[in-house]
Amino acid sequence: MFKRILFATDFSPHAEIAKRVAMRLAQADDKQLWAVAVLEEWEEPLTEADEPPMVSPATWERELEKEQQALERQEERLLDRDVAEMEAEGIRVHKILREGDPAEEIVAAAQEIGADLIVVGSHSRRNIWDIEMGNTAAKVAKKAPCPVLVVSHRPPHPGPEHERILFATDFSPHAEQAFKIALTLAKETEGRIWLVSVIEPGEEIPMPPGFVVEAPDAEVRELEKELRADVEAKVRRNLEVLAQQASDAGVKTEISIRHGHIAKEIRKAAVDVEADVIVMGTHSRRSLWDKLLGNTSQNVAQHASCPVLLVSHTTNKRRPT
Closest among 321, 179, 284 to 241, alpha carbons compared: 179
- What is the rounded CA–CA span in Å between residue 188 and residue 49? 54
- CB-neighbour burial class of residue 134 (10 A; exposed 0-12, middle 13-18, buried 19+): middle
264 and 250 assigned to the same domain: yes
Examine the pLDDT at 72 and tell me if it is beyond 90: no
The H or E element spanning position 39 is strand 32-39
* 33 touches 94 (CB < 8 A): yes
Stronger pLDDT, 103 or 293, i.e. the higher one: 103
185 and 113 assigned to the same domain: no
242 three-class SS = helix
Last residue of a domain, one of 90, 124, 155: 155
Per-residue pLDDT reduced to its tens digit, 145-155:
999 999 987 76
Q: Which residue range is the domain that position 232 belongs to?
A: 157-321
Stronger pLDDT, 115 or 315, i.e. the higher one: 115
* 277 touches 166 (CB < 8 A): yes
172 and 319 assigned to the same domain: yes
98 and 140 assigned to the same domain: yes
Examine the pLDDT at 21 and tell me if it is beyond 80: yes
Last residue of a domain, one of 155, 173, 196: 155
Q: Give the count of beta carbons closer than 10 Å to the beta carbon of residue 273.
A: 16
Please list, in sequence order, all residues whose beta carbon lies within 8 angstroms of the beta carbon of residue 276, skipping any fewer than 6 positions away.
156, 157, 159, 160, 161, 162, 163, 164, 165, 191, 306, 307
99 and 124 assigned to the same domain: yes
Number of structural domains found in the chain: 2
| CA 104 vs CA 10, 143, 229, 230: distances in Å | 14, 8, 45, 44
| CATH code, domain carrying 64 | 3.40.50.620
CA atoms within 13 A on the CB side of 66: 6
Per-residue pLDDT reduced to its tens digit, 196-254:
999 987 655 555 555 555 556 777 677 778 888 899 999 999 999 999 999 999 999 99
Q: Give the count of beta carbons closer than 10 Å to the beta carbon of residue 252.
A: 12
315 and 250 assigned to the same domain: yes
Instruction: Read off the pTM.
Output: 0.80
231 and 304 assigned to the same domain: yes
- What is the rounded CA–CA span in Å between residue 141 and residue 74? 27
Let me know the angle formed at the C-alpha of 210 by 207 and 212, rounded to the nearest 5 degrees: 75
